[in-house]
């Protein structure tokens, strides 16, 4: 169990059921001096316009289930909290009745963090928040390469306005995403129109359907991503419904026929080597979870995000 | 089980687990010619700004659990679906990302129904919808007497804008409610400020706290309501969290120390004799319910609403 | 979301949480003039003699979870509700205390629908209903080829009388099934007797155990089915417990070590090209489900059934 | 914790979570020589024709939750398992597909037990089983006085045949019940027809509605029962839905506005002094329970049944 | 919502679903300089020797559900966090495999806090922890008057060693409790032996059974407590199973026939005027809770504890 | 369904929902004369020091879900209860407050059984119990070859004392395990230290990580085990968290990215041919399960254990 929190009240030495649940017992702080990465909760679920709400409890439950995580990533060979200085930045003050107000606040808080050269790992909340996160990141880094794990394209032109089915539509339309380096992984399920995939591709998405993923194998999917993106600054957005409902039932719009937990871990670890600058993990809906298995998976994936950042840092400073 | 639906596919003669769940198997229709009352769902939960979402599934689950209701109300001595012509009008097309758009649509649909001299029984959804319902009713009837069952005053001035803690604040400010005839029943719990009750009273609410209710007894509470309101046109708004979480766990902001199911039934039946013109039942959140006990209670309370309307009609036409 | 229901109260344009849940918002009707396919609920669970009941709520929950389905089937390249005229026929009036009465009613209603040259897709209910469905289909089409997805053979001679472990025993004994074209897919688990599989084969079943399925791969399983059945009129019976309990926990007799959701979708889609005339999906038990993942999978599989019918129709009228 | 089981493998000295769950660790046996009372499970739920199934798991879950019961009844001042010789007789072999077969088996097993002058405490299962139990008891004792706790009258003439809404209709029609000594306690909810209560009374039931119970108080209800029944041989049938769903959510047809757990305990204990000969506790449906609170209440009520029998025995042998 | 936390990352202004859940957003700190009261978690459940475990998650879940509490206590007319300086001290480092080690640590941490003249409000954990808490309090204050709300006496001499059925036995034996001022409220259920209550009384407990409480009424119970205890330094121990399982299902050894949530709130508020020095709230077991209703009740009761301390302080400094 | 229990009250002929749940309806007995194998429950969960408790209910729930198991193992071609004489020995009397007392009792009871040349299949309980089981087995057989299925190594030297993360550390240190024949299968997840695997290997474990298992395939894993162990007397310890949480959510420390139910069945069946002498299946935590899918899987795995023993017996007596 991680011991990076200097405040004994947080329970650095405690077991997972004890203590105040910040992410991996990180210090809860908004001081970013010298901080490499900030965990940021975005407990907003009114963007879930299509089916179930409940993701407003995602950040809290992911934090609670992060406490069982041990610190060393065997496969990436790194102890992220030993390499990186990290904080739990708490949550954005969202406004459930207005996506406009909420979106501005998300972008503002994110910009504030990025301005100190601290990376953000955002915990959703529904997928609409990614638009606001990308806005701040693009303002800081320019148009971004994006790796987008999802069962849905989230580029639905018929909807038009911002909700959880359109963050990438708006981000593409506003030039926040580098259209030559935007890959969608895991797309599946019935479509609204025959042209849905074509439309997504026309907007700039490099779409890998779940059938293509399973046929290629996870290693080839990662090679495809690396080949497409190269060393562009890259943002990772992971909608937990990319994973099959058996492994991630606690989500708002579950789509059957998806990835296993092992496969999503493979895919995320396989991003090592990209120039990763920002992350979000969205659509964890605790009221629909059981035994917290979705939040546990999410906490593990955030640990992989941290490990990817740490691994890049470690390689940049080989003699450390 | 009611048999008022002429479409056999709905399952007029079927048991509760069978058939398509319109409210009490009423015809699903937007034809209001000769119709006395319309059940109207408002599956909106983004107004739940303070705690849990999930009430968007309230209308569906209340309908499903209405199928077990038999038709004759023994205590009010009326068979409401024999006396009234009723339809299930379906749901308002809500917009989770915008309370402004949603509010307009609720008011518009309600106005459309009232224009045909049909009463509305609205199924929420969170309590913010009551403002929009009152707006349409006040436009039709003038300022209304209101009986408001709740654990919270929902007149929080510090919030200001429309959400589920302010429908009555806004309705009072806009003159939708007759301030001489607005009673709140069941208020309890910690307050945000010492002046919360004073503030509510200053705005026009006649507040009965839960302690006052329990001390007076339910019969006296009803006498108090009748005395205050008399024969003014009256709207009833019932937030299910007026009831204790033991009896109604499926709600967004449960408040311990509340009414039992028997007491809320007594209180609602006790409204017989008022000139009732509109109703809502809000804040049923199925993802937090178990064994549907909250939805079952809600369905029974809506049956009492129907019975109250029917009872008034029956008395108006004594020789029927 | 589908918009085929002409009654606006059903919520043609609404999101999945809103409106009255007929299957995919199809018209709820018993008018079959010009109708190609009828969705028929059979909410009967007293045939579940071996373990858990609860499938009487299967039809309702599958309908509710069908509302999130979009209309276009990407892999079969068809929009079934654009190609087919479909209705939700409601439910059979079952009698929980008597399988004899229930069976007769199922057969009668099914015969009534088939008589108008409308296909039936039945939603169970426990597996005993398949016998009664087959009876009506065989009366209309003659002995049928059958594709039977299941973890159990359901041909248990020791039981003898009709319940959910014997529909195929009785159907075979009564000549409702073409014994040269009856395939069972996914059989597994402990057996009651060493001769159980032999017995099933002796009765006419072409049994593929789960081990055989996994060794062959899903594509080969489908080739095997096509090879065996050819262009005989074919009935498909899908017991959701063919799928592993991780993917389909909401069922009465879960059997570990089964298919994934991706695999069952592959297998069902792979039936394209057969001459399919009837379908059932049985054994979904909502009281044992969580987050509705079993009902969501079931709704998707019914969508594939519809797509298979539509695809055949589309190919028959190539210039459409 | 009770220690009456001589077989150490049952865990006579173990805590509630350990050991094999026979009722209160009684010997599991069909030897009735010298036995005073037999606990008999009837895991049949196909009689639940109106709403939810699941009571087939009632006997098992009541047994499991009986293990926490301590042996001394403070209010009746008796240690029932020290006074009575009791066994857990196991379950009747029910047949879910046929109520006729099941009913015969229930009556036969019960008759077999009664023939040895052993009392039966039956654990349901749905309420239809009471008819079959009464049949055996009436054959042994003649027409019985009956105390019937329930929210429904279960004398619905429109149904006619045996299911869980008719056991008392049939028992009355067949003379199994002494019509001068049959009391129903707790009746409530909407009625199917205005004449439902009148009909029940016409058939012979002395009906106390829940409103009457609450107005009289529990002590007066018990006085009423004693006054009506006197020292006739009396059978007690307790449908757990007499209790409010807050206290007993795990049931098939919950009816809001009912008794509290304290009140049902008062009412059952208040039967002390009657000449009690048989008992059943029905309609506990574990799939709809949470935290086993319904089964725990049921186990406590069965403990009161045992205590009533023991108390009568103790008084009959005052010098023991 | 409380705003006493100076660290914006904790979310002083956030809604209940947002931010890091310390109790009522209090600062998480072990600096006690000038601090009046410390919330202390004791996530230990191995003392639950009799039935269900799970209370190790009690402190976390009570904290999470405290975030919805507003700050002003209307009935005690006090805003506790405005009157008192409070911190969330985090959790004791418990050792599930050893009650001896755990007990020492609880006593040590508590002594450490008391040494700074800070009051402790402990969140359990199972009831065994009260012994260790009383040990530290008695060392600081001398033998304590104790108000003990519970359904069980927890003075079981047959057990002997420390577990959740013996904290008061050991405390009485070791002189930690003032035997002239120890009251038990709510005792009920079957007893292990006829002498259980006598034994408890012999040890020094003034026992009020639930029947006595209901007969006297809550006001008289409080008068009894005040009369017995007067102005002795008093410790309050509240086992949530004093409350009926309908209102508090999430507990390890639920006992039917208990207090309602309204009654326990009355009883706790009625302690105002006693000289209260320490508190615990134990036996909340989140794995058995639903919709968090038990944790919500617990959080409200802890708020009453805080209010009682604040109220005493307020009265002591009347001109503040 | 098995019919080996001669006591009719157990329900030899009953369906899975009926009768008293001993494992597969085996006789509940401590008479071991001529008995080949004893099922032994160890309902202890205080060794679960790291996260969730609840495994104390594992033995009961595994027994309950074993009742659906049929008797013939198709893949191993054996009917274990026809070949072996087996009993359900009931549970060890554990002591939740003391792992020392509990450990001694486990070892003593196990030794008592082994002394009669009866094999033990132990049902946990948390993994700490394996140490105490191994102690008794090593005393009887000498140091044992061990096949250990798990996601964690459970050889954590930093912990030191006995709890569920150290049974194999202590067993290795005390020479209970043959270090040349100890294989761990399925290890994964973040590690506490970079050297964790090295440490385990240094202690004597032959570790197969989940990545190695998936790369090799299950057949090769079994070959590796057979090659390593040969014909040494072998103990099998199966921590259910070796399986992915999708297939086994009901466990205390779920680890994502694990085996499927099909794979664990393959691996266990693949042990046929080893000289197996003892077994345990641990860490099933029913409070975190849903639809009992974890307990069902566990019951199936215990059935495979029985089949492995029976298969060895059958082969030893080829002419039977």
- The per-residue pLDDT for D298 is 98
CA distance B218 to B210: 11
Cβ contacts (< 8 Å) between D99 and chain C: which residues?
97-98
What part of A 274-303 touches B (C-beta under 8 Å)?
A: 287-288
Inter-CA distances, E21 with D234, E65, E79, Å: 57, 8, 20
Cβ contacts (< 8 Å) between D261 and chain E: which residues?
244-246, 256-258
- The per-residue pLDDT for E260 is 98
Cβ contacts (< 8 Å) between D41 and chain F: which residues?
18-19
Q: F252-293: per-residue pLDDT in tens?
A: 999 999 999 999 999 999 999 999 999 999 999 999 999 999
Cβ contacts (< 8 Å) between D90 and chain F: which residues?
8-11, 19-20
Count CB-CB contacts under 10 A for residue E22: 29
The pLDDT confidence band at residue C2, using thresholds 50, 70 and 90, is very low
DSSP code per residue over C18-76 = SS--SGGG--B----TT--EEEEEE---TT--SS---GGGHHHHHHHHHTT--SBBTTT
Percent of chain E with pLDDT over 90: 92
Q: Is the pLDDT of residue A2 over 70?
A: no
Rounded CA Rg of chain F: 18
Q: Are F122 and F133 in contact (CB under 8 A)?
A: yes
The region, left, alpha or beta by phi > 0 then psi within -120 to 50, assigned to residue C271 is alpha
Place of tokens 């992989």: A304
Q: Is the pLDDT of residue E272 over 80?
A: yes
Domain F8-316 is of which CATH architecture?
3-Layer(aba) Sandwich (3.40)
Q: Are C202 and C245 in contact (CB under 8 A)?
A: no
Alpha helices (H) in C154-242, listed in sequence order: 167-173, 196-203, 210-216, 218-229
Q: Are B19 and B25 in contact (CB under 8 A)?
A: yes
Cβ contacts (< 8 Å) between E20 and chain A: which residues?
20-22, 28, 63, 88, 90
DSSP element (H, E) containing A196: helix A196-203
Q: Which residue on chain D is closest to E258 by alpha carbon?
A: D262
* C/A touch flag: 3 or more CB pairs below 8 Å: yes
What is the distance in angstroms between the Cα of A192 and the nearest Cα belonging to chain E?
Answer: 33
What part of C 203-232 touches D (C-beta under 8 Å)?
A: none
* Contact: B60, C57; criterion CB under 8 Å: no
Q: F86-125: per-residue pLDDT in tens?
A: 999 999 999 999 999 999 999 999 999 999 999 999 999 9
| Among B70, B71, B291, beta carbon nearest to D245 | B291
CA distance F285 to F125: 8
Q: Is the pLDDT of residue E147 over 70?
A: yes
Give the mean pLDDT of chain F: 95
Q: Is the pLDDT of residue F134 over 50?
A: yes
CA distance F15 to F135: 38
- The per-residue pLDDT for D317 is 64
Both structure tokens of E176 = 């930690």
- The per-residue pLDDT for C12 is 72
* Contact: F18, D28; criterion CB under 8 Å: no
Q: Are A294 and A248 in contact (CB under 8 A)?
A: yes
CA distance F253 to D21: 27
- The per-residue pLDDT for F288 is 98
Percent of chain F with pLDDT over 90: 92
Chain E CB within 8 Å of residue B52 CB = yes
Alpha helices (H) in C204-292, listed in sequence order: 210-216, 218-229, 261-269
Which of E152, E257, E263, E287 is the mutation pick for testing D, counting most D CBs within 10 A?
Answer: E257
When comparing pLDDT for C10 and C35, which is higher? C35
DSSP element (H, E) containing A312: helix A293-316
φ, ψ of residue A73 to 5 degrees: the values are -95, 105
CA distance F277 to F280: 11
Helix E218-229 to helix E261-269 angle (10° resolution) is 30
Nearest to B153 by CA among B121, B192, B123, B106: B192
Polymer length of chain A: 320
pLDDT per residue rounded down to tens, chain B (320 residues): 444 676 888 887 789 999 999 999 999 999 999 999 999 999 999 999 999 999 999 999 999 999 999 999 999 999 999 999 999 999 999 999 999 999 999 999 999 999 999 999 999 999 999 999 999 999 999 999 999 999 999 999 988 899 999 999 999 999 999 999 999 999 999 999 999 999 999 999 999 999 999 999 999 999 999 999 999 999 999 999 999 999 999 999 999 999 999 999 999 999 999 999 999 999 999 999 999 999 999 999 999 999 999 999 988 865 44
CA distance F183 to F168: 11
Q: C27-56: per-residue pLDDT in tens?
A: 999 999 999 999 999 999 999 999 999 999
| Among C13, C18, C88, beta carbon nearest to B20 | C88
Q: Is the pLDDT of residue C21 over 70?
A: yes
What is the distance in angstroms between the Cα of D300 and the nearest Cα belonging to chain B?
Answer: 20
CATH of domain D22-316: 3.40.800.10
**Residues of chain D under the 50 pLDDT cut:** 1-3, 319-320
Place of tokens 């047994």: D63
Q: E1-54: per-residue pLDDT in tens?
A: 445 676 888 887 799 999 999 999 999 999 999 999 999 999 999 999 999 999
CA distance B258 to A74: 53
Nearest to D268 by CA among D315, D307, D212, D213: D307
D183 DSSP β-pair partners: D147, D206
Q: E201-246: per-residue pLDDT in tens?
A: 999 999 999 999 999 999 999 999 999 999 999 999 999 999 999 9
The pLDDT confidence band at residue F4, using thresholds 50, 70 and 90, is low
For CA atoms C127, C132, C133, C135, give the dihedral sign. positive
Mention the CATH class of domain E34-316. Answer: alpha beta
SS3 (DSSP) at B65 = helix
Which of B257, B286, B297 is the mutation pick for testing E, counting most E CBs within 10 A?
Answer: B257
- The per-residue pLDDT for E320 is 41
Q: Is the pLDDT of residue C10 over 90?
A: no
* Mean local confidence (pLDDT), A104-118: 98
- The per-residue pLDDT for D2 is 45
Buried/exposed code over E290-303 (b: 16+ C-beta within 10 A; e: otherwise)? bbbbbbbbbbbbbb
* Contact: B288, A288; criterion CB under 8 Å: no
Q: Are A32 and A107 in contact (CB under 8 A)?
A: no
Cβ contacts (< 8 Å) between A61 and chain B: which residues?
none
CA distance B98 to B101: 6
- The per-residue pLDDT for A320 is 41
C26-316 belongs to CATH 3.40.30.10 = no
Q: Are C245 and C258 in contact (CB under 8 A)?
A: yes
Place of tokens 């009887």: F140
CA distance A181 to A253: 26
The number of angstroms, rounded, from the C-alpha of E290 to the middle of its chain's C-alpha atoms is 21
The pLDDT confidence band at residue A5, using thresholds 50, 70 and 90, is confident
Place of tokens 């709890």: F163
Q: Is the pLDDT of residue F148 over 50?
A: yes
CA angle F28, F33, F39 (to 5 degrees): 40
Within 8 A by CB and 6+ apart from B73, the residues are B79, B80, B303, B304, B307, B310, B311, D190, D191
SS3 (DSSP) at E145 = strand
CA distance F244 to F230: 29
- The per-residue pLDDT for E160 is 84
SS3 (DSSP) at E301 = helix
Neighbour-count burial of F105, counting CB atoms closer than 10 A to its CB (0-12 exposed, 13-18 middle, 19+ buried): middle
CA distance B173 to B177: 9
CA distance C240 to C286: 12
| Among F253, F256, F289, beta carbon nearest to A261 | F256
φ, ψ of residue D153 to 5 degrees: the values are -75, -25
> What DSSP state is assigned to residue D35?
-
What is the distance in angstroms between the Cα of E266 and the nearest Cα belonging to chain F?
Answer: 32
Chain A CB within 8 Å of residue E3 CB = no
What part of E 232-261 touches A (C-beta under 8 Å)?
A: none
CB pairs under 8 A between B and C: 91
B30-316 belongs to CATH 3.40.800.10 = yes
The pairs formed by C227-231 with CB atoms below 8 angstroms and a separation of 24 or more are C228/C180, C228/C181, C228/C183, C229/C145, C229/C147, C229/C181, C229/C183, C229/C274, C230/C181, C231/C274, C231/C275
What part of D 77-116 touches E (C-beta under 8 Å)?
A: 77, 79
Within 8 A by CB and 6+ apart from E29, the residues are A7, A9, E87, E88, E89
- The per-residue pLDDT for D320 is 41
């Amino acid at each position: 169990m991680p011991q990076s929190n200097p405040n004994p009240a947080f329970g650095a030495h405690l077991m997972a059921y004890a203590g105040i649940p910040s992410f991996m017992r990180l210090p809860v702080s908004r001081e970013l001096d010298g901080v490499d990465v900030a965990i940021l909760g975005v407990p907003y679920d009114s963007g879930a316009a299509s089916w179930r709400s409940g993701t407003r409890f995602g950040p809290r439950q992911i934090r609670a289930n992060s406490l069982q995580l041990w610190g060393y990533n065997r496969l990436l060979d790194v102890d992220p909290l030993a390499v990186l200085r990290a904080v739990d930045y708490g949550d954005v003050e969202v406004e459930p009745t207005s996506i406009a107000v909420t979106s501005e606040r998300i972008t503002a808080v994110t910009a504030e963090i990025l301005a100190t050269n601290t990376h953000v790992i955002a915990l959703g909340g529904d997928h609409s928040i990614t638009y606001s996160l990308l806005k701040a990141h693009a303002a800081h880094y320019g148009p971004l390469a994006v790796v987008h794990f999802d069962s849905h394209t989230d580029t639905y032109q018929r909807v038009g306005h911002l909700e959880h089915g359109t963050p990438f539509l708006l981000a593409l339309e506003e030039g926040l995403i580098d259209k030559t380096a935007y890959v969608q992984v895991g797309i599946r399920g019935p479509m609204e129109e025959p042209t849905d995939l074509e439309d997504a591709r026309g907007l700039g998405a490099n779409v890998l359907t779940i059938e293509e993923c399973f046929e290629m194998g996870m290693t080839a999917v990662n090679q495809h991503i690396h080949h497409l993106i190269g060393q562009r600054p890259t943002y990772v957005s992971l909608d937990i419904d990319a994973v099959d409902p058996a492994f991630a039932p606690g989500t708002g719009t579950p789509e059957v026929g998806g990835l296993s937990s092992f496969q999503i871990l493979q895919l995320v670890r396989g991003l090592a080597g990209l120039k990763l600058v920002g992350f979000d993990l969205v659509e964890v809906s605790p009221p629909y979870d059981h035994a917290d298995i979705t939040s546990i998976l999410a906490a593990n994936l955030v640990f992989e995000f941290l490990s990817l950042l740490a691994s890049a840092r470690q390689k940049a400073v080989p003699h450390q």
